Chain A
Amino acid sequence: MAVSATVIGALLGLGTQMYSNALRKLPYMRHPWEHLLGMGLGAVFVNQLVNWDAQLQRDLDNMLEKAKAANERRYFEFSIF
């Protein structure tokens, strides 16, 4: 999971850097060291994104759980009548 996220992130970073060069009508691989930097940033970004997404999912589940409990409480309180 982490490996594929890193690979995807590296490709994303590389692609962005090449796109940025292409927009400026420079050769694709101008300043080749910037591509490495881009790959690193991309890998970190995608990994963080995955982590954040997982965390978000967990938080959301928690909140849904709470909401469900509240609803059930309300339902049971309501059904007592």
Chain B
Amino acid sequence: MDQTQLLQTAPDSSNATILLMGLRRGGKSSICKVVFHNMQPLDTLYLESTSKPTSEQFLSLIDLSVMELPGQLNYFEPSYDSERLFLSVGALVYVIDSQDEYLNALTNLSTIIEYAYRVNPKIHIEVLIHKIDGLSEDYRIDAQRDIMQRTGDELLDLGLEGVQVSFYLTSIFDHSIYEAFSRIVQKLVPELPSLENMLDNLVAHSSIDKVFLFDVNSKIYVATDSSPVDIQTYEVCAEFIDITIDLDDLYVENDAKGDSQAVAKDEIKSISYLSNGSVLYLKQMIRGLALVALIRNDDESESAKPDTNMDEVLTIIDYNVGCFKKLLMKMWESSKFRPASDNEDYA
């Protein structure tokens, strides 16, 4: 592997880039496959060892590249253009296998942080304490505390006190990996504060309990309102997208499947009433995004005629969500943080 190969795979600097690093067999490729390719977690057992840096593009709200580096390489050999690499990335995600001995990984991590931080002080450093599905509940907290403590000490020894390092407990067998990636991606969206503000406004005026802005393919949420995220609500909302899309796909006629691009598609919208009076609401937004909201109907006084009440609420929500979508489109047109020519390259 020589320098040219790395240069080819090096991501375009106009994309927000996430760099996935870690020791070998830490689970990096599995994470990529599960989150971005909808692979079943069990199937990742059969993945081969990654031998060269791979880079993938994901066009979502922001154009995202995820670059995965093989674990067994040493990046500080002179043949690697590591400086250029670290300069171009927005976030560095380091995967630590929590079921394995992690002291080696921590040393490796602090060397990488030291180098990356020197090259690019604006880089976000994220640490995934991975494969926690195999640890018992108490031990997870212990492991996290231990890893945080040791990393802090190492960085202190290197004289890097100001570096912000975020830690996440993750596993590909539940939704924690999506949660972690959602947080990481959110840090790279420059419009996040205004997005959150808009969603807060939507929630305040529509009696919505919780709202997510999802990327439909990866089930990562790029924004949510400011109320705390309940992991169960997130899971249900993510699965609601799957169900809506799956049902819709079943009725695409076979002959139309080929040229689906040519047919102008209507936006998908779905509403589901639950037995406890809540309502799940989904509406398609721009750029492969979907807005999913959980609407709770706790109003006891009006429960006598919940149907009519809910219909009024839904009409208001429909209107408000329409406004939100218009705003989102406007915001997107005006946010020219990358030159227009780049868009065509990946279109």
A complexed with B: no
User: What is A's interface to B at a CB cutoff of 8 Å?
Assistant: none
